[in-house]
Structure 1
């Protein structure tokens, strides 16, 4: 199992619940073996590293009822909810997987609005959670306040690195690197020479995707002497098209319809579950457009009937990283060092092309492998104001 630390361990407060946690192959070695075009995409790596049987049942609060350990991992969602097929669901899956591994129960609490963040976290602290995963950038203020007043509780902060506390671990992802691959793939696939992206909110975990996507299209144009256009995002001005949240499917559908009317045939919604609004717009239009997913491999996770539109997904491996952070904390080796997931360590990546494998240019997979190596060794630069490097 990959270790989630870039520095020395700072404290060892958590109770030791097992003498020897099973260690799987590292994310890096797995990435080298499966390659970009493998069916087992990076978003599913957690299934290959120490995954056990699912809890036999859960209570109404989301706690597994077959626990043998008293260690209690918990998670609080952002507004998108745990059925977003995106970052909230991935984080929850990581907590569930960790609970199974250590033989514990778990608790989950869903945030309906931003006003719920602080109270939801306080509720989990009151229920004596040993570790609380905060699913997303928007929860950082509530996490900082709670971490400062609850030193015995460990906090795993996803998608923000501003927390500075002995009991707070920042986990972030260099998704611009994976999105660069997604942008190159979109440009290579496009028949109209127009691709588009939109975001949920204008926040760094969203705009970093959009920067990488635009860079990937630009690189394709340079390499192939083409002029594929990007709608919805201007990297130079950091201005673009946003829904204003992660819940308004109608607005996502309207935005996508406007892109389709402007001849775009590849749409990248960086907006959690709002890929569904984009998919609905494509189906209503009757046009031959496709979607690129983000965070999870939406071809595998979608249950809304849009998997046949998924060209490829830009992956942020939240499930595996969350699993590792919790199991390390439960084993007594929690640390507050920042973890940055990138292409080199397998924290981000690109899924298989699934149903579109025979429809993309035959050389695309090998080109993407070459680009991935160039990004990893620094010979190909990916720039974003939201970068963590």
Structure 2
């Protein structure tokens, strides 16, 4: 299947989501579940995307943020899982009907539904993660400059690669995905410039904004196939920007007896998925858990709701890079020091990271 044929078709998605919200009485809402501790009347809630709360990544991190805040505030919480995109609006509506004070929506897919729900329910607050286009008094946008952290990941991949070929691919073609790929691409190019090398990047071209996408965040078979294609072309460091679809990439590496490694995104996959930790060189961190926890805790603690946009950066520790864990003795000895210097350069502005999807234009 060609790259183009697997691009996610977004036309009409926003209208469909908004329409679904208005028609929630016609569809059965997903089931909800809640925490057990109840000493406060404030009720934070979260609606999960189709990748699931056990994705070892984005959705799981957001849920951790909600549960941590609820525990600190001595309150319960509720969650609802979307099985398909048709559940986005109805899931939010079901949480509102449960008297949730605040609803966390992790991901770009929820934008249309959150926008409609926020307008219809001005007394309910929302935390919209991975988008900064909703301007409403009861919506807090939370976004991340993951290109900065991915730049470090790209440099590390190029420094580690034995074949001189690395790769990245995405789940769906969203700005929150391609910003990772841009940063990774730039980091590899910076390595090449600084070290007079020619490490090649497969799967993404920042200049053309074209690359390889599964088309969703659930198809492990295609994830495995795409990874195998890159292994066949000599890639020995691969970065899937696709939630739990890294599992398909891991299966491809294990099935081919390859010595290739992966880089995780969002969470430190070495820590969250012990079954595959031996494959992870490093992870590019998007600290959704801590930023979600802070937003929920601030709202729950009696402070007025803050609808200002939060932008996670290297400087404010909203994004970052994990330890090299088992690979600490296998990377170039000077790599950690170089990454520290590069990070300082990004934070000061002397090293430019300029993804077209950047939130700091």
Cα distance in structure 1, aligned partners of 2:180 and 2:35:
35
Map 1:1-389 to 2 at 5 A.
61-303=32-274, 305-331=275-301, 332-389=303-360
- Structure 1 residue 63, shift from structure 2 partner: 1.1
Counterpart Cα distance in 1 of 2:37 and 2:335: 47
Q: Secondary structure at the match of 2:33?
A: coil
Cα distance in 1 for residues equivalent to 2:354 and 2:256: 35
Map Cα deviations across residues 72-128 of structure 1 (whole Å, 9 max, x no partner).
Answer: 000001110101111100000000000000000000001111110000000000101
Q: Deviations over 1:231-274 (max 9, x none)?
A: 00010010000000000001000000000000000000000000
Helix, strand or coil for the counterpart of 2:86? helix
Query: Structure 1: 5+ residue runs without aligned partners?
Result: 1-59
Shift of 1:62: 2.5
RMSD: 0.8
Q: Secondary structure at the match of 1:75?
A: strand
2:110 aligned counterpart, secondary structure: helix
Segments of 4+ in structure 1 off by > 4 A? none
Greater RCO (Cα-Cα under 8 Å, separation 6 or more): 1
1:342-372 per-position Cα deviation (integer Å, ceiling 9, x unaligned): 0000000000000000000000000000000
How much has 1:287 moved relative to structure 2? 1.2
SS in 2 for 1:218: helix
Q: Normalising by structure 1, report the TM-score.
A: 0.84
Question: Residue 114 of structure 1: SS of its match in structure 2?
Answer: coil
> What displacement does 1:64 show?
1.5
Structure 2 unmatched ranges of 5 or more: 1-30
User: Which whole-Å deviations, capped at 9, do the CAs of 1:316-363 have from their partners, x for residues lacking one?
Assistant: 000000000001011223211000000000000000000000000000
